[in-house]
């Protein structure tokens, strides 16, 4: 009987964690822009949290798709207000934006080295980020 009473008294304590990890994530997607000229930077529409995200970024996963294969010289950056990082490939993840506020608006920026026109109809069909934060 004593063991049973002890177990009942401990039950509320076992249900409460000693440390609460306030982690979360958000994602957003956009289409555009059109990519027409080398030597210029073109940015996606704002990618932002749909509701308040309290904390700081730990990891950002990205994915983008172009309307056709990318011509040579493509440079893509994932940007917050005060910091940009170069990313490689159509998808991946980075910790390079860690410790930025989790509700920071992000953009993907597309640029092409050199001068001259790009193939007609080249555009960003979709871009997406998933932001993990604590």
Which stretches of the chain are assigned E, i.e. beta strand?
24-30, 41-43, 57-66, 74-79, 84-87, 91-94, 107-112, 124-133
pLDDT of res. 82: 92
In sequence order, the β-bridge partners of residue 58 are: none
d(CA 35, CA 47): 18
Domain harbouring 85, CATH code: 2.60.120.260
* Domains identified in the chain, total number: 1
pLDDT at site 3: 47
Q: Has residue 58 been placed in a domain?
A: yes
How confident is the model at residue 10, as a pLDDT?
41
Helix then strand count (H, E) for the chain reads 1, 8
Confirm whether 34 is domain-assigned.
yes
Identify the pLDDT of residue 5. Answer: 41
For residue 102, being part of any structural domain is answered with: yes
- The reported pLDDT for the residue numbered 15 is 42
Q: Please tell me the distance from the alpha carbon of residue 108 to that of residue 80, in angstroms, as a whole number.
A: 9
Is 17 contained in some domain? no
- pLDDT tens across the length of the chain (134 residues): 444 443 434 444 444 333 334 589 999 999 999 999 999 999 999 999 999 999 999 999 999 999 999 999 999 999 999 999 999 999 999 999 999 999 999 999 999 999 989 999 999 999 999 999 99
Name the residue range of residue 43's domain.
Answer: 22-133
- Tell me the pTM: 0.81
């Amino acid at each position: 009987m004593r063991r049973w009473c002890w177990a009942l008294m401990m039950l509320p304590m076992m249900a409460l964690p000693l440390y609460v990890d306030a982690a979360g994530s958000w994602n957003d997607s956009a289409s555009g822009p059109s990519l027409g000229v080398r030597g210029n930077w073109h940015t996606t529409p704002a990618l932002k949290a749909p509701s308040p995200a309290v904390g700081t970024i730990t990891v950002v996963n990205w994915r983008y798709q172009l309307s056709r294969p990318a011509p040579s010289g493509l440079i893509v950056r994932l940007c917050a207000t005060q910091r940009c990082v170069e990313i490689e490939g159509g998808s991946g993840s980075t910790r390079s934006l860690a410790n930025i506020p989790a509700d920071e608006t992000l953009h993907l920026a597309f640029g092409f080295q050199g001068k001259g026109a790009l193939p007609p109809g080249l555009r960003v069909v979709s871009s997406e980020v998933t932001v993990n934060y604590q």
